[in-house]
Amino acid sequence: MTLEIHKIGGRIGAEVIGLDLAGPLAPETVAELNTALVAHKALFFRGQRLDDDGQTRFAEHFGPLTTAHPTVAALDGQPNVLAVDSTEGGRANHWHTDVTFVRTPPKASTLRSLVVPPYGGNTLIANTQTAYRDLPDALRELADRLWAVHTNDFDYAQGREPDAKEAERRAVFTSRTYRTAHPVVRVHPESGERGLFVGGFAQSIIGLPTHESHDLLRTLQAYVTRPENVVRWRWAEGDLVLFDNRATQHYAPDDYDGLPRLLHRVTVAGDVPVGVSGESSRVLEGDEAEHYTSV
């Protein structure tokens, strides 16, 4: 079949219409979806009739799956499914790329909505490759040579006192510390395009003092989150989003007044990021997270 794909924005995002993800997908359909994913970075599917098993089967079309998370427990009976539950402190209220604190972050992520607040609770996804192309020449040449340390152990509260659930979640999240050196500019393994590989887990630039390091990361991050590089998805129950974790960041604004919001996430195992020089990412602290990445 020929997929009906409609761009949502000029730089990122497309909605796929008329495809039932609960049924079997032909290999040529999967290939077309993967091509669209690389091109559009994020694909959106409205009104899907999926349960956890169905979401897992769909994600498996794009490669072996990771377990749910390196430190956070999976959903009972579903080792590949992570519950993103606002009532349990699951509010990803910062820009990030999934699990970049390990050496092999996911290739792609799927999010499926189960409980949607009546307002707010959208997900924003940014194109890190167009952000790279937006950089002035001198800054782009500098970024090509930089490496950043990504870690899961930093201050998520950002100057405010976390509530009890947030504090408990952070304790679990950091129960095993990971620090990984990644290139600031990642070469996409399928398209060969370059993209900024920073986000919330990138905490320092190797070789720079703390203050200058933070300033440079903020400067680069500002290009990622320019409005023209960002698509906003307003969830309805049953929606599924598939995004390329090698070329995007995402953000879920905490703007729904404490109302319940529940998504389930399943991620596809990825490869080791490679920089412009051809050098691969390396572990600084922790392990290879083999318990997280499928073999």
The pLDDT assigned to 80 comes to 97
pLDDT band at 91 (very low <50, low <70, confident <90, very high): low
Is residue 72's pLDDT more than 90? yes
Q: Helices 210-224 and 137-145: crossing angle, nearest 10°? A: 120
Report how far residue 220's alpha carbon sits from residue 250's, in angstroms, rounded to the nearest whole number: 15
The pLDDT assigned to 290 comes to 85
The pLDDT assigned to 212 comes to 96
Q: Which two tokens stand for residue 160?
A: 């405010």
Task: Give the mean model confidence (pLDDT) for residues 216-243.
Answer: 98
Report how far residue 295's alpha carbon sits from residue 288's, in angstroms, rounded to the nearest whole number: 12
Is residue 165's pLDDT more than 80? no
Partner residues linked to 126 by β-bridges: 230, 249
104 contacts: CB under 8 Å, gap ≥ 6: 269, 270, 271, 272, 288, 289, 293
The pLDDT assigned to 203 comes to 96
Is residue 295's pLDDT more than 50? no
The pLDDT assigned to 156 comes to 57
The pLDDT assigned to 292 comes to 87
The pLDDT assigned to 257 comes to 93
How confident is the model over 241-281, as pLDDT tens digits? 999 999 999 999 999 998 999 999 999 999 999 999 999 99
Is residue 164's pLDDT more than 70? yes
Task: Give the mean model confidence (pLDDT) for residues 76-85.
Answer: 95
Q: Which two tokens stand for residue 128?
A: 């890190």
CATH superfamily of 4-285: Clavaminate synthase-like (3.60.130.10)
Task: Give the mean model confidence (pLDDT) for residues 23-33.
Answer: 94
Greatest alpha-carbon span in the chain: 54
Report how far residue 174's alpha carbon sits from residue 154's, in angstroms, rounded to the nearest whole number: 9
The pairing of beta strand 230-233 with beta strand 123-127 = antiparallel
Report how far residue 248's alpha carbon sits from residue 199's, in angstroms, rounded to the nearest whole number: 9
Rounded percentage of the chain residues whose pLDDT exceeds 70: 95
Is residue 112's pLDDT more than 80? yes
Is 283 in contact with 103 (CB distance < 8 Å)? Answer: yes
- When mean pLDDT is compared across 62-76, 88-102, 212-226, 261-275, the lowest value belongs to 88-102
Q: Which two tokens stand for residue 220?
A: 């680069």
pTM for the complete prediction?
0.95
Is 99 in contact with 197 (CB distance < 8 Å)? Answer: no
How confident is the model over 123-163, as pLDDT tens digits? 999 999 999 999 999 999 999 999 999 999 986 545 556 67
Catalytic residue numbers read 96, 98, 250, 265
The pLDDT assigned to 168 comes to 82
